[in-house]
Amino acid sequence: MSDPAPDGAEPDTSAPKRRGKVRKRHTIGKIVLATVLVMAMATGLGTIWLYRHLNGNLNVVDVTGQLTNRPDKMEVEGPQEPLNVLVMGSDSRDCEGCNIDNLTGGGQRSDTTILFHLSADRERAYGISIPRDLIVDRPDCVDEDGTTIAGADGVMWNEAFSVGGPACTIQQVEQLTGIPMDHYVVVDFEGFKGMVDAIGGVEVCIPEPIVDPAHGINIEAGTRKIKGAEALNYVRERYVVGNGSDIGRMKRQQAFIASMAHQVVTAGTLARPDHLVGFLNAATKSLTVDDGLGSIVKLAQLGGQFQGIGLDNIQFLTIPNIPDPSDPNRLVWKQPEAKNVWDKIAHDEPLTKKLSEDVISAGNVPGSSSSSGSGNGNGGSSNEADKQALADAGLCT
């Protein structure tokens, strides 16, 4: 996978930990945008100890040798190359309190897949969520020991991560979308809570109380900051909020990460060394990355790619989908809209308004008291369909 730029730092003799397997912890995974934004400031903190400490936190796993038949990157106009970063949430239900869905079996699963695309002119960024319940034909992939893992037809999207970790998910994304990935990031559960707590919580707007006794969740209504277990429960809850769908949960997660990015950039986090160090420490502990992002400097350089993009132009959406005709509890691509989205991303073209319905931007979070009100997000939308989508997700309109 490509490296965003040379390190710009002397080689570090205390190399990051490199393990053959991804650590199995429950994750949320949608907070990496805020992570890379704030990491652009990391080198300014200055000490060799901190640099080595943060580097040592990272788990670096090179999966390039496991990827086959990779699509070519399209040649596009722009001062730089477009960047595609695949973010996955590693969802292990083995730990105490992690199995909110009461699913059987251990091991790693993935509740979250999101493709971040940065345009070649660095004027826009899209975070495109792919539902875990999407039914696809999973391609063959290669295990870390070189063994071929046979593909399967008509399986859920997140099965790829379960059978082969990030490499098989990357293979699936590339083969089904035609878009090559430059980098990947896996985010785990512990880091999520740590990052939220390090910045003093994240503001959300909850229109109605969330009461789910079966899963031990009780969250009051209102616009306020939440953190710790309450924040984790909020982004994981699915059964008693809005219309109870996983699409609704994904939209709440999109709003949460958009609000988190807004908080990091606008609320003085970058100017508070104590907050910043805590955030970076939690973030690096939670990340598994490829070689191209395998140091704090490389992550900072990736984060720097976001700095020229206004918050209104950091937009989150879900790939178009419809209920599976053979199973209303599953989803399939909505065509031709889904293909058109992937074609636009592959050619680094802006998404049309029709293709980017129900967008949430980091500058205009639904119900936020600090949104700019000037972006393309739904926070200030008068579109009734957009409002209904927010209501279905249990978000303020």
The DSSP letter of residue 377 is S
d(Cα 254, Cα 248) in Å, to the nearest integer? Answer: 10
To the nearest whole number, what is the mean pLDDT of the chain?
77
Scan for tokens 């979308």, then name that residue.
177
Number of domains, the chain: 1
Please report the pLDDT score of residue 384 as a whole number.
62
Please report the pLDDT score of residue 266 as a whole number.
67
d(Cα 275, Cα 268) in Å, to the nearest integer? Answer: 9
User: Are the beta carbons of 148 and 140 closer than 8 angstroms?
Assistant: yes
Average pLDDT for 29-39: 43
Please report the pLDDT score of residue 333 as a whole number.
95
Distances (CA, A) of 306 to 117, 247, 251: 11, 26, 22
Share of the chain above pLDDT 90, in %: 29
Confidence of residue 6 (pLDDT cuts 50, 70, 90): very low
d(Cα 277, Cα 92) in Å, to the nearest integer? Answer: 27
- Between 197 and 10, residue with greater pLDDT: 197
d(Cα 29, Cα 190) in Å, to the nearest integer? Answer: 11
- Between 26 and 241, residue with greater pLDDT: 241
Share of the chain above pLDDT 70, in %: 70
Average pLDDT for 221-249: 78
User: Are the beta carbons of 89 and 110 closer than 8 angstroms?
Assistant: yes
pLDDT digits (tens, 9 = 90+) for 250-297: 888 888 888 888 777 765 665 566 667 777 788 888 888 899 988 877
First to last CA, the chain: 40
Torsion region of 226: left, alpha or beta (phi above 0 gives left; psi -120 to 50 gives alpha)? beta
- Between 258 and 116, residue with greater pLDDT: 116
d(Cα 40, Cα 306) in Å, to the nearest integer? Answer: 9
d(Cα 389, Cα 248) in Å, to the nearest integer? Answer: 8
- Between 51 and 144, residue with greater pLDDT: 144
Confidence of residue 376 (pLDDT cuts 50, 70, 90): very low
Please report the pLDDT score of residue 383 as a whole number.
59
**Residue 3, in any domain of the structure:** no
Closest among 250, 268, 63, 80 to 168, alpha carbons compared: 63
Burial label for 77, CB within 10 Å (0-12, 13-18, 19+), is exposed
Please report the pLDDT score of residue 357 as a whole number.
66
Q: Is the dihedral of CA 58, 63, 64, 70 positive or negative?
A: negative
Domain range holding 205?
Answer: 23-392
CATH number of the domain within which 66 lies: 3.40.630.190
Q: Which helix (H) or strand (E) holds 57?
A: helix 48-57
- Between 365 and 10, residue with greater pLDDT: 365
Average pLDDT for 303-318: 80
Question: Max Cα separation, the chain?
Answer: 58
- Between 147 and 215, residue with greater pLDDT: 147
**Residue 116, in any domain of the structure:** yes
**Residue 68, in any domain of the structure:** yes
Average pLDDT for 11-34: 44
Q: Is the dihedral of CA 250, 254, 259, 265 positive or negative?
A: positive
**Residue 5, in any domain of the structure:** no
Average pLDDT for 305-315: 78
Please report the pLDDT score of residue 308 as a whole number.
73
The region of weakest confidence among 12-16, 81-85, 160-164, 303-307 is 12-16
**Most confident listed range (8-12, 57-61, 356-360):** 57-61
- pLDDT at residue 345 tops 70: yes
**Residue 157, in any domain of the structure:** yes
- pLDDT at residue 328 tops 60: yes
User: Are the beta carbons of 144 and 20 closer than 8 angstroms?
Assistant: yes
Angle between helices 32-39 and 273-286 (to 10 degrees): 130
Burial label for 162, CB within 10 Å (0-12, 13-18, 19+), is middle
- Between 10 and 150, residue with greater pLDDT: 150
pLDDT digits (tens, 9 = 90+) for 42-91: 434 445 666 788 888 888 999 999 999 999 988 888 788 999 999 988 76
Closest among 73, 88, 95 to 25, alpha carbons compared: 95
Please report the pLDDT score of residue 170 as a whole number.
97
Closest among 350, 352, 348 to 336, alpha carbons compared: 352
**Residue 333, in any domain of the structure:** yes
Q: Is the dihedral of CA 303, 307, 310, 313 positive or negative?
A: negative
**Residue 1, in any domain of the structure:** no
Average pLDDT for 138-161: 95
The helix/strand/coil state of 191 is helix
pLDDT digits (tens, 9 = 90+) for 162-181: 999 999 999 999 999 999 99
**Residue 13, in any domain of the structure:** no
Closest among 302, 67, 293, 258 to 186, alpha carbons compared: 293
pTM: 0.79
**Residue 55 identity:** N
Provide CB contacts within 8 A for 338, sequence distance 6+. 319, 320, 321
> And the tokens for 291?
């070689």
